[in-house]
Amino acid sequence: MNAVYLDAKMSDDARRRALYDGQLFLYSPTPASLELVRVARQMTEEAFAPLAPEAAQFSLPVEKYVEVLAALKPKFIHHPRCKELLPRILGELGCDLTKTYFDVPRLRTATSDNYLTSGIAYAFHPHRDTWYSAPMCQVNFWMPVYDIEPDNSMAFHLRYWARAVRNGSVDYNYAEWNRESRQNAAQHIKTDTRRQPRPEEQVELDPQVRLICPPGGIIVFSGAHLHSTVPNTSGRTRYSIDFRTVHLDDVAGDAGAPNVDSACTGTTMGDYLRGTDLAHLPAELIARYDTPPAAVGARSDGR
Ligand SMILES: [Fe+2]
């Protein structure tokens, strides 16, 4: 059973338990989320000026569009306002900032009509973040920057919350990926040859749920949910912001969603920053999750 809670008033501890049980949470825009959206819009509009960001793809050659995103996205990630606003959003949602650690927010684009679906605007196939070395206690936050509709949103594939999907996560190690692939995102314009964990069986995409909220509204879900980028047929580029958190008690206590099929190694644990002072998690906790790359024999391609 999966429920969707709207503006739930429950404590963060209770909410995380519910998230690890597959429940979804949806929040109305908060003052800080609206401010984050304002910052994202301002940067995006400046980057594409004089074109409107949602329509710019129709006036720009794809190489030029990639160039704009390649400058815009890192600028947003590292913008000092983001590191101020994320803790504020988490505080507004009832998180204990002394124990909640977040990673930098990402600005994502989903172009319409298959204009650009690789590299820097990668259209995510159905996946769990936990296939990408995220811990089972990772909580994801996702918000639209402009209005969304079902045809340019994201989808949850609920049938697989408790059911395994055969997948290639055994080949994924976060440290290896960072070394080899991430820097090259902007080079992948027409196709994306980077190795990513994918389903290795036919995924039944339905039943699926697409949550629609206003700009600055926040979808909160477990990183273990199977989710995907919806093929955008809306005629408008979708811009969204997402970021992730972990809670110290859950990291220390190995709490989190059940692992039904993730076999990746390594960990993203070193990325999260404490809500109060941007400190990293204790090194011994990071080390506990940082498993070495899978042995050659375990890999599907025998590397
Ligand atoms: Fe994801």
Give the model confidence (pLDDT) of 194-222 as tens digits.
678 999 999 999 999 999 999 999 999 99
Q: 2 C-alpha to center of ligand 1: Å?
A: 18
* 160 φψ region: left (φ > 0), alpha (ψ -120 to 50), beta (else): alpha
Q: 24 C-alpha to center of ligand 1: Å?
A: 14
Which residues does 122 contact at the CB level (< 8 Å), separation at least 6? 185, 188, 192, 229
Considering only CA atoms, which of 163, 222, 299, 241 is closest in space to residue 21?
Answer: 222
Bridge partner residues of 209 (DSSP):
156
CA–CA gap between residue 139 and residue 145 (Å, rounded): 20
The full DSSP string for 115-168 is S--SGGG--PPSB-GGGGT--TT-EEEEEESS---GGGSEEEEGGGSSS---BS
Percent of the chain at pLDDT exceeding 70: 92
Type of residue found at 214 = P
Average pLDDT over residues 257-270: 97
Considering only CA atoms, which of 293, 276, 292, 290 is closest in space to residue 134?
Answer: 290
CA–CA gap between residue 197 and residue 222 (Å, rounded): 18
Q: 50 C-alpha to center of ligand 1: Å?
A: 31
Task: Note residues around ion ligand 1 (Cβ under 5 angstroms).
Answer: 129
Give the model confidence (pLDDT) of 81-111 as tens digits.
998 999 999 999 999 999 999 999 999 999 9
The predicted structure's pLDDT at residue 303? 44
What is the pTM assigned to this prediction?
A: 0.93
pLDDT tier at 117 (50, 70, 90 boundaries)? Answer: confident
Q: 225 C-alpha to center of ligand 1: Å?
A: 9
Residues 301 and 124 sit within 8 Å (Cβ to Cβ) = no
Say if residue 301's pLDDT is above 60. no
